[in-house]
């Protein structure tokens, strides 16, 4: 079991690499988490580095394509730092992004708290706590050279590949009555449709993914808070991007989200 000092040292190292756009092969052996719990213990130290309240949470690897992309067999939770969140239409720095992909995602904003508890949350309970649904784009990245081989505990420690996030406007459509599992999403790069998917690729339904997160955090003694946003994972194969690319996600009646990368 990692000590508090070891977990802090691992967090410090990952944070420095994130800030400086650097990568490593893996965490040094003495600082390397062996379990998901140890990975989350390292990740939790990120929050104190932000000057603002936690913006929300991301779920990585909710689709088979996403799992293959980072070499895991199930979802991982990560934190969305407010300093890394952009409005739709923003220009984002491309920087030293290593993954070089974007992901089209359904995001939910909570209207009330979901505190940790002993019994698992049911989907209806979680959805009752949701205020709004948004189209979103995640721009993931990793601080590891070969992120597909380091394993889930180290990826969790590295904030589950969180990097930048673009939130679209709250949809005005009656989303609660829609079948989100069958809802189609198109991803466009430079004006060309490069990928198509549906909500079914997100653990079978984005609402299932949201419920998974509420229970994953609850088991860690963490609650979701009113106002926080949860982005539920890519509903299509991650789309390759580069500097200067214009990106948009078309969620049909649920709305659109767009961004541009600088040169």
Query: What is the domain-level CATH number for residue 46?
Result: 3.90.850.10
d(CA 139, CA 162): 8
Q: What is the pLDDT of residue 14?
A: 98
Q: What is the pLDDT of residue 99?
A: 96
Instruction: Check if the beta carbon of residue 154 is closer than 8 Å to that of residue 39.
Output: yes
Q: What is the pLDDT of residue 102?
A: 98
Which element (helix H / strand E) includes 167? strand 164-167
Question: How many structural domains does the chain have?
Answer: 1
Q: What is the pLDDT of residue 66?
A: 81
Give the residue among 31, 13, 33 at the shortest CA–CA distance from 22: 13
Model confidence, pTM: 0.96
Give helix 36-43 / helix 4-20 axis angle, nearest 10°.
Answer: 60
Q: What is the pLDDT of residue 67?
A: 86
Which element (helix H / strand E) includes 139? strand 130-139
Task: Write the CA distances from 98 to 93, 149, 166, integer angstroms.
Answer: 13, 15, 18
Structure-token pair, residue 112 = 């009330």
Instruction: Give the strand pairing for 76-80 and 164-167.
Output: unpaired
Question: Residue 251 is part of which domain span?
Answer: 4-261
- The DSSP bridge partners found for residue 79 are 57
Q: What is the pLDDT of residue 69?
A: 83
d(CA 259, CA 239): 14
| Below-70 pLDDT ranges, the chain | none
- The DSSP bridge partners found for residue 108 are 133, 230
b or e along 42-77 (b: 16 or more beta carbons within 10 Å of the residue's beta carbon)?
bbebbeeeeeeebbbbbbbbbbebbbebbebeebbb
Which element (helix H / strand E) includes 179? none
Q: What is the pLDDT of residue 253?
A: 98
């Amino acid at each position: 079991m990692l000590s508090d000092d070891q977990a802090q040292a691992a967090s410090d190292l990952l944070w420095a690499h994130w800030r400086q756009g650097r990568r490593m092969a893996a965490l040094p052996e003495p600082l390397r988490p062996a379990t998901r719990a140890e990975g989350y213990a390292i990740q939790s130290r990120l929050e104190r580095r932000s000057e603002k309240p936690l913006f929300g949470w991301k779920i990585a690897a909710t689709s088979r394509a996403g799992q293959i992309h980072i070499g895991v067999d199930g979802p991982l939770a990560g934190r969305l730092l407010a300093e890394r969140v952009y409005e739709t239409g923003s220009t984002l720095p491309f920087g030293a992004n290593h993954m070089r992909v974007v992901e089209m995602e359904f995001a939910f904003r909570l209207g009330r708290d979901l505190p940790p508890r002993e019994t698992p949350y049911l989907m209806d309970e979680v959805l009752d706590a949701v205020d709004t649904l948004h189209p979103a784009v995640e721009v993931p990245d990793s601080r590891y050279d070969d992120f597909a081989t380091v394993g889930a505990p180290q990826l969790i420690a590295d904030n589950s590949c969180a990097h930048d996030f673009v939130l679209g406007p709250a949809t005005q459509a009656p989303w609660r009555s829609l079948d989100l599992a069958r809802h189609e999403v198109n991803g466009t790069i430079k004006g060309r449709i490069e990928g198509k998917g549906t909500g079914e690729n997100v653990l079978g339904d984005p609402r299932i993914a949201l419920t998974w997160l509420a229970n994953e955090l609850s088991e860690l003694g963490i609650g979701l808070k009113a106002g926080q946003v949860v982005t539920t994972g890519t509903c299509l194969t991650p789309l390759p991007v580069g500097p200067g690319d214009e990106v948009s996600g078309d969620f049909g009646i649920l709305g659109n989200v767009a961004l541009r990368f600088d040169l």
